[in-house]
Amino acid sequence: MIYDILFFTHTGAIKFERKMKQEGITCELMPVPRALSSNCSVSARIEFEGESVDLIDSQIEKMFILKDNHYELVYESPEI
């Protein structure tokens, strides 16, 4: 599955990218897609077949699955 992940800060996005690389998961940082909104203008796109809960950390604001060119919210931080 393809995930688009939004962050609270730029630093959080960079930390997440490093974490994914350490785990062998390809992670592309990019601008937040227009269809989504975020406190931070940077998002990450990854392809991951495991459970989305395994990806969640304190840096993540929201997580979406990209299905048929539509975004489906799968996680939203309780801090929002």
Q: What's the average pLDDT block by block, 10 residues per block, for the chain (80 residues)?
A: 95 96 95 84 93 89 93 90
Tell me, what's the pLDDT at 14?
Answer: 96
**Can you give the residue range of the structural domain that contains 31?**
2-71
| CATH code of the domain covering residue 50 | 3.30.70
Tell me, what's the pLDDT at 35?
Answer: 85
Q: How many domains does the chain have?
A: 1
Contacts of 47 (CB under 8 A, 6+ apart): 1, 2, 3, 25, 26
**80 inside domain:** no
**79 inside domain:** no
**77 inside domain:** no
**78 inside domain:** no
Tell me, what's the pLDDT at 80?
Answer: 66
